[in-house]
Each structure stands twice: as structure tokens, then as C-alpha cells.
Amino acid sequence: MPAYGKLSSSGKLCLTFFFLTFVATFMPKTAYGQGLELNGGWAYNSGNFGTNGFNVGAAWWFTKNVTIAANYDSSWDSTSLTTFEFTQIGAIAVKSHLQNFLVGPRIFFSTNWTDKHKLNPFGEVQFGGSHLNQKVSQVNMPTLSASDTEFSWLLGGGVDYLLTSHWSARANLDLLRTHFANEGQSHLRLVLGIVYTFGSREEKSTRGTGARH
């Protein structure tokens, strides 16, 4: 069996993400409006007792308003069900690890007011996969674990605040839809982070040209 086939589902998601990032880095710069962007920050996903972790991503500017973005989230939660702690059942602990890999377009728009206040709002839709691993442990009982990898998508948006011509602060708020165990689950996804764009964001907004070094 090929080495790729021996990887875990989460390993495949990570490998695919870094492969796409590598390809984007070395894409030819002859097309109009291209430029590489990297981002990272804190991520929160509701559901599964609410998981907290990190987000990393990359995007490629094709025009002054359109990017294709790839994002990877990894978040965790450890929760004790204290309701049963003083019963015959005993303490129960649930550990969750949620990973999302999503790719799709991010569309920016602006007005005179947003430009004046250095804001760059956007909407986004992305598709990909999510992996959930959960472990349930109980006193004097064996630990139970289960995992699943399924198709997922998100719909939402956010805003960038331009700190300099290359650095921005970003806030995302999305509806994340997963499909674990052949059922649909809706999550609120919040990401707060920082963005570095290799091309000048000022050039994109004022001249409508591509990224320049």
C-alpha cells in the first residue's frame, strides 16, 4: 500500500493543506492580480462542548477583490460531566479533537466609509473535510474512543483591519456544517488572527493592481 494510504485521516488533511500551500507559493506570477497571503490565529468551534485551538491558512489574490483560500483548523476540548460524579456511575470525562480543512473563494468589497477606516469586509464559502476524534473515560471502566472524517462546508464572512500595507488583523464568523455519523451538525466558527500579504494591500485597494514586491 502507498505511504499516503497508511496515513490517518487527520494526517491526510494536513498533508493536503501543506501541498496546496506549496503549489500556491510557486505559481507563476504572470496572471493579473496575483499575490500570496498567509494567516494564523485562534479558532473556536461550537458543538462538542465547544472546542478551542488554532487556525492557519493561505490564500492567493487573483484580482483586487477575489482570493482562493485554504484553511486548516485544529481545536480541542476536555470536559468532565460532574452531574454523575457523586453517583454510582462515577466521573465521566469527554475529550474532543476537531480538525477542519476547507478551500474556497473569499470575496472582498469596500465602500468609501470602509476605506476611510482601513476596513476590508469579505464574504466566503468553502468546502472540504472535517475529522472528529472523541474519547470518553469513566472511573474503573475502559476508555471508549471513536473518530470520523466527513465532508463539510462553511458559509460566512468577516473583516480585515489594515495595520500596514502588508499586515492585517482579521475576524471571521462562519456557519460550519459537518456530517459526522451520517447526520448533519451546525457549528458556529469564530477565528481571530493576523494576516501577512506579500503584495501591498494598499495597491490592491487604491490602484486595483496585483501584488507587487
Residues 6+ apart with CB under 8 A from 36: 24, 25, 58, 59, 60, 61, 197, 198, 199, 211
Give the least confident one: 17-21, 60-64, 66-70, 158-162.
17-21
Q: What is the pLDDT of residues 44-56, one digit of tens each?
A: 999 877 899 999 9
Specify the CATH class of 3-76+99-130+149-206 in words. Answer: mainly beta
Q: What is the pLDDT of residues 17-43, one digit of tens each?
A: 555 555 555 554 433 345 899 999 999
Domain ranges of the chain: 3-76+99-130+149-206
